[in-house]
C-alpha cells in the first residue's frame, strides 16, 4: 500500500486537524506564561483562554461563563454523570442515571454512578430513543433515593441518527430530572443551541470538529446547579476543573469551533450531496446493502452499512488494504472490533457486521469515487464467495 494515496473517510472517529486549528495550536505553543500568573505573559494566555471560551460558547448558544474546558468529552461525561450535585450551596442527590442504549461508552459506562444505579433506555428498531419507555422509567423512578438524571446523545456516532432530544428534555424536566446531552457528533454538523434543546448540560469534544485531540468541554445552562468536582487542585476553571489549562489544545478547539459555527448550512449541504450520491451508487453496486437509519433523520456525513455475509473486521481490513480508512464504528481502544451495541439495541442480530463511512468538509468526489470502486470490488468478491480480505 505504500506510496498509494490513502482516502480518509473516518471523520466520526476523529476529524483531521484543520489548517486554522493547526495554526492556532502552533501560535499558542509560543506563549510562555501560565494563565494563572498575573504578569503580562500569564495574562496573554488568560486572554487566549477567555476568547476560546467565547468561541466554544457561541458554537452551542451558551454563555461563555458556562463553559468548563476539559481533556475531552470522556472527562466532561465523568464530571457531570455523578450522584453528587449542588444547587448553589445546597447538596443535591441524584438517585439514578438513565442512559440511552446507544450512547457512546463515555456516557454509557455511567461516569461516577455505581453500575446498579444506571438504567438503559431502549431504542426503537428505527434507532430512535424510545420516548414512551423513557416516560415510563421516569414515572417509576423512586424519588426517595434522589433526582433522576437522563443522558441522551444528539446524534449517534455509529449510525448518525439524530435523536429526539428536545422531546426528551420535556419528559425529563416534567419529571424534575437533570438532562445531559452528548453533542459530540452533532457539533459542526447541526445547528446547536443548549437553550433550544433545553439541556441542562452539554458535552463537546474538539477532535470531532477538526480541532486537536485532548480538549473538550462541559457546558452548563447556568452556574447554580453543578456537579461535584472531579479534579481537585489549584482551582482553575472556577474550581470546577483544576490543573493548568491546556492552552494549546484549547486554542485549537476555539479555532475549530469558529469554523464549525460559520457557513454551517453550505458546508453540510455539500457533504449531504456527496453522501446521498454515494449511498445511491452503493445500492446500485450491491442491491442487498443495508444502510442503517436511511429512513430517519441522520447526520449529513454518516453512512453505516451492512453487506450480508461480510464481517465488520474482515470488511475493515479489506477497505484498509484498498487504501480506504473507514471503521466498524465500535472499535475499542485495543482496535478489536466487537458487535455493534447500537445495532444490537435496534434489534439486529449481534452477528451482523457493519461498517461506517463518515465524510467531512474536505472530502472530495474523488475520495468517494475511490471508496465506491473498493466497495464494488469487496461486495463482488463476497458474492463470489471469495474471502473479502
Ligand atoms: N461521545 C461521542 C458520541 C463520541 O463519538 C466520542 C468519541 O468517539 C466521545 C463521546 C468521546 O470523546 P473524547 O474522545 O473527546 O473523549
Distance between CA atoms of residues 211 and 48, nearest Å:
16
Amino acid 387: pLDDT: 46
C-alpha distances in angstroms, 360 versus 13, 117, 224, 269, 383?
A: 11, 38, 37, 11, 30
Q: Is 72 in the pocket of ligand 1 (CB under 6 A)?
A: yes
Q: Is 354 in the pocket of ligand 1 (CB under 6 A)?
A: no
- Is the confidence at residue 118, as pLDDT, over 60? yes
Nearest CA to ligand 1 atom 5: 157
For ligand 1, the distance from its centroid to the CA atom of residue 211, given in whole angstroms, is 13
Which has the minimum average pLDDT: 30-44, 82-96, 210-224, 326-340? 326-340
- Write out pLDDT tens, residues 242-276: 999 999 999 999 999 999 999 999 999 999 999 99
Percentage of the chain lying above the pLDDT 70 cut: 95
Yes or no: say if 304 and 156 are a contact pair by the CB < 8 Å rule.
Answer: no
Q: Show me where the domains of the chain are located.
A: 7-16+263-388
Average pLDDT on 201-229 reads 97
- Write out pLDDT tens, residues 274-293: 999 999 999 999 999 999 99
**Using 50, 70 and 90 to split pLDDT, how confident is the model at 338?**
confident
Percentage of the chain lying above the pLDDT 90 cut: 92
Return the ligand 1 atom nearest residue 156 CA. 3
For ligand 1, the distance from its centroid to the CA atom of residue 137, given in whole angstroms, is 26
**Using 50, 70 and 90 to split pLDDT, how confident is the model at 159?**
very high
Fold (CATH) for 7-16+263-388:
3.90.1150
Mean of pLDDT over the chain: 95
Amino acid 5: pLDDT: 87
Yes or no: say if 154 and 173 are a contact pair by the CB < 8 Å rule.
Answer: no
Which has the minimum average pLDDT: 56-65, 95-104, 224-233, 348-357? 348-357
Nearest CA to ligand 1 atom 13: 73
- Write out pLDDT tens, residues 309-321: 999 999 999 999 9
Which residue of 14, 71, 73, 214 sits with most ligand 1 atoms within 8 Å of its CB, as the best mutation to test the pocket?
A: 73
- Is the confidence at residue 210, as pLDDT, over 80? yes
Known active-site residue 300: no
- Is the confidence at residue 349, as pLDDT, over 90? no
For ligand 1, the distance from its centroid to the CA atom of residue 3, given in whole angstroms, is 32
- Is the confidence at residue 389, as pLDDT, over 50? no
For ligand 1, the distance from its centroid to the CA atom of residue 74, given in whole angstroms, is 6
**Using 50, 70 and 90 to split pLDDT, how confident is the model at 222?**
very high
Q: Is 318 in the pocket of ligand 1 (CB under 6 A)?
A: no
- Write out pLDDT tens, residues 14-29: 999 999 999 999 999 9
Active-site option among 140, 332, 386, 387? 332
Residues with Cβ < 8 Å from 44, sequence gap 6 or more? Answer: 31, 33
Amino acid at each position: 500500500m505504500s506510496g498509494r494515496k490513502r482516502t480518509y473517510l473516518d471523520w466520526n472517529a476523529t476529524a483531521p486537524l484543520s489548517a486554522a486549528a493547526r495554526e492556532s495550536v502552533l501560535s499558542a505553543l509560543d506563549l510562555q506564561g501560565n494563565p494563572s500568573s498575573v504578569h503580562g505573559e500569564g495574562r496573554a494566555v488568560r486572554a487566549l483562554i477567555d476568547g476560546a471560551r467565547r468561541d466554544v460558547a457561541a458554537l452551542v448558544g451558551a454563555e461563555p461563563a458556562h463553559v468548563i474546558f476539559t481533556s475531552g468529552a470522556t472527562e466532561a461525561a465523568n464530571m457531570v454523570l455523578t450522584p453528587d450535585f449542588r444547587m448553589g450551596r445546597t447538596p443535591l442527590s441524584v438517585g439514578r442515571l438513565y442512559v440511552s442504549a446507544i450512547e457512546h461508552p463515555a456516557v454509557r459506562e455511567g461516569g461516577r454512578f455505581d453500575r446498579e444505579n444506571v438504567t438503559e433506555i431502549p431504542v426503537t428498531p428505527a434507532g430512535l430513543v424510545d420516548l414512551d419507555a423513557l416516560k415510563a422509567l421516569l414515572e417509576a423512578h423512586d424519588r426517595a433515593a434522589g433526582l433522576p438524571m437522563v443522558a441522551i446523545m444528539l446524534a449517534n456516532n455509529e449510525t448518525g441518527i439524530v435523536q429526539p432530544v428536545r422531546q426528551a428534555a420535556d419528559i425529563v424536566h416534567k419529571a424534575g430530572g437533570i438532562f445531559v446531552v452528548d453533542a459530540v457528533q452533532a457539533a459542526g454538523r447541526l445547528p446547536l443551541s443548549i437553550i433550544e434543546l433545553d439541556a441542562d448540560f452539554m458535552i463537546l469534544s474538539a477532535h470531532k470538529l477538526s480541532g486537536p485531540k485532548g480538549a473538550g468541554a462541559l457546558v452548563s445552562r447556568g452556574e447554580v446547579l453543578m456537579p461535584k468536582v472531579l479534579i481537585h487542585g489549584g482551582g482553575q476553571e472556577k474550581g470546577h476543573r483544576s490543573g493548568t489549562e491546556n492552552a494549546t489544545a484549547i486554542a485549537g478547539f476555539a479555532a475549530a469551533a469558529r469554523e464549525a459555527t460559520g457557513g454551517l448550512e453550505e458546508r453540510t449541504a455539500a457533504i449531504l450531496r456527496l453522501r446521498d450520491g454515494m449511498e445511491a451508487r452503493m445500492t446500485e453496486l450491491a442491491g442487498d446493502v443495508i444502510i442503517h437509519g436511511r429512513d430517519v433523520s441522520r447526520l449529513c456525513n454518516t453512512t453505516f452499512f451492512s453487506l450480508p455475509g461480510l464481517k465488520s473486521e474482515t470488511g475493515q481490513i479489506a477497505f484498509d488494504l484498498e487504501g480506504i480508512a473507514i471503521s466498524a464504528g465500535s472499535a475499542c481502544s485495543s482496535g478489536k472490533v466487537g458487535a455493534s451495541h447500537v445495532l444490537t439495541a435496534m434489534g439486529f442480530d449481534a452477528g451482523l457486521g457493519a461498517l461506517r463511512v463518515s465524510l467531512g468538509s474536505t472530502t472530495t468526489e474523488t475520495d468517494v469515487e475511490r471508496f465506491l470502486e473498493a466497495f464494488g470490488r469487496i461486495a463482488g468478491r463476497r458474492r463470489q464467495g471469495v474471502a473479502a480480505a
